[in-house]
Structure 1
Amino acid sequence: MRFGKRTTSEVQAAAQITEQILDRVLPSWRTADWEEEARRPLWRHHEAANRAISLLEAEQELQENLGSGAPQLDAATLHPWVWGSVAGLWSSGHFREAVGAAARAVSVQSQAKLDRRDASEAKLLGDAFSTNAPVSGHPRLRLSTDDGGDTFKNRHDGAGNFARGVYSAIRNPIAHEEGEELEENEALEQLAAFSILARWVDAATVETA
């Protein structure tokens, strides 16, 4: 079968790419209550594409005329442990659940790096970034060499406190309290916090007893 000058397989391949774009721009396009165009293949894709183009053009115009010129954070540039674990949830608008998934992913990766299964999240990383020497069963994460200076201590104390903070103030409320869906910009800021932590853990070396 041919659609214009394209074969069915060519149209299907193009549709897969289009669907990924539409999922990000118009998350509800698959179920939206639009009037169906009779005898038009892929009518929903056509309608959604037209609406998405109009929306993107309007956003661009607003940004050009009213934007602050401030840099914008691209979620795809977040650490792979974070964005790789939440891309699907994010595209479907499940922002609160995505933040929780990112927190769990960082914890799981940290457990694997430290070869520990007896602790997780704040407890695990608070212990791992301790400036105390490693002991059996308690390896440490080192962001720099211990030269006895304040920078080493401040860096690791700060990383440990940061880990405790993001898990206590962000992860725990999401996991244990009922709440409304997060706004996209707020959720993105929270993902960025876990991305910072992920980069520290990923870059650190493991020091064992």
Structure 2
Amino acid sequence: MDASRNPEYLRKTAEAVAEFKEAFKAFMELHTETKDAGFGRGLLPAAVAREGVSLEEMQTVTDRVARAAGRASAAPGLTRMYIGIASFPEPLDPITAWKTVITPKPLLEPCDVLDAAEQILGRLEAMTDKAEAELPPTTGVEAMHPTIWGAARKLWVDGHFRLAVQSAAESLTSQLKTRTGLANMDATNIYEKVFASKNPMLAWPGDPSDRTVSSMQNGLAKYAPGVNMTVRNTATHVACRDNRPAGSGTARRLEPPCALDRRVRRPHLTCTQQQHRPPDLQEARGPVTAQERGQRLSGRSGGSSPASPSPYAQLHERGELERVSLMG
């Protein structure tokens, strides 16, 4: 942003110029002007130190003016306030050149510095007024609809800005559901249905065949759902994420590899094996006990070498081994 159009910056610059002016006046109180001496004007310094002024006091006042001149150095450029000197090739900055009043052949006299400071202050005031008049309009909370600010006020004042936005959006959606009777519909779908381009439940006033009315209705059909998704949904999703207990996200990500195997794979595998096991084997062998399964997996049966298993038994054992490895 252009500094010359920033009211706050212009006010601070004016404060710096006023501080410079007061510091320069204090500096001149320790000096005597030579303009009334009747001779040497233009050759002698425009001001000389008064008798009895200590070096420490003079240095303190001089430093104050120098610092103030530095803070106000941007003012002449902003206001285009310069002084033309016949013997000097370029216009002179009255704030930067303030110290020439105490040098031989001074470029400026004390009155030149003070008059220029006053003009700069006047120009800065005018520029500030103009910059404020050209600022874009702002909307305060008092201009908000009661539905919005009423739902957001307490949270906003307490510093919970995202929750305030969420609360305001939820309040608006709730009122829309009440007025349309679509209480069980998703928020985004409500906005799409209520402000639809064709057969809207809430229509822009005017003749639908009018191009302006039609444009407004088509715009609302896109704008209303879009605002709901970009404002209400994002505020709600972040709020839910922030309010989730610590570690809950990790627990959900770690659960499937173990829990899903227990709850889904084991019943599925067991059911599949029972359905495809030959009936004669089921009847002849009967149910397999845990002890027999352990002996079969370990390759031992009562201390004696097991008989060669049938092809189906081999497949069955490999299936058992696979299932065990999956289940842990």
Higher relative contact order (CA 8 A, sep 6+): 1
